[in-house]
Structure 1
């Protein structure tokens, strides 16, 4: 069994073992939902509304890889990009649909095509992820990505 991935959030170490009194509730995380339901970023990524706002401020309304403004993306919004594998899960940032597909290639979940021209910028973006796994886990992230690429029959340049 792999250890839980320690992540630094807002300068504090977070590993999912917060006391229940300190943990935000689903009822309190509805600010970004037009229907008053729990926000997707909380349900899926365990990001509070304040953390999501900080992530949006960091992105400044544009894709963090290519700089496309949010209103000009395919889905007319930026998506929360994350890495997940071998017990490690962390949010990297906000991306347009095209750059989210680039990160799927970096992660080894999709084959590279013409989008390979974004590879270097994508690796820089990943290194500056919004949530940072513990330094010793970056090697495991690279191993997972490399293993997935092998399964796809590809290698990184």
Structure 2
């Protein structure tokens, strides 16, 4: 697991499992230009986050060039369709949607169980 060499993910409050999920989703490639990590200028991928929300708002993994591009895209200084698609599929948004769906399901199960208990009483 050479992609864990520095464990920089702890800075972003990610567990090793979270980082593995990011890596698998990215398939070991920059999520914008799709270069394999070994073929990027730095030979690795960097964790990208939405600065307006803080370090916990991890979007994905990028090469250094695409990570720099995102600074301009985030400020509205550049328009790039690949970067826009990447922003729309941010990791933290996918996680929040999944957790919301789990919470809704749990609340529904609880309401049904409470209604069944009330009907049986």
Please confirm whether the aligned pair reaches a TM-score higher than 0.5, indicating the same fold: yes
Name the CA distance, whole Å, in 2 between partners of 1:81 and 1:98.
12
Deviation at 1:33?
Answer: 4.7
Q: Does 1:54 align with 2:21?
A: yes
State the Cα RMSD in Å. Answer: 2.2
2:88 pairs with 121, 127, 132, which one?
Answer: 127
Name the CA distance, whole Å, in 2 between partners of 1:67 and 1:126.
15
Name the CA distance, whole Å, in 2 between partners of 1:128 and 1:41.
19
Listed one character per residue, the Cα deviations across residues 71-94 of structure 1 (whole Å, up to 9, x for unaligned) are 111110011011122xx2311100
Name the CA distance, whole Å, in 2 between partners of 1:68 and 1:50.
23
1:95 pairs with 62, 78, 83, which one?
Answer: 62
Alignment of 1:3-152 (within 5 A): 32-33=4-5, 39-42=7-10, 44-85=11-52, 88-89=53-54, 90-108=57-75, 112=78, 119-132=80-93
Distance 1:97 1:47, change over 3 A: same
The normalised TM-score by structure 1 is 0.52
The normalised TM-score by structure 2 is 0.67
Deviation at 1:125?
Answer: 0.4
Higher helix content, 1 or 2:
2
Listed one character per residue, the Cα deviations across residues 36-74 of structure 1 (whole Å, up to 9, x for unaligned) are xxx3211x1000000000100000011111111111111
Residue 138 (structure 1) aligns with: none
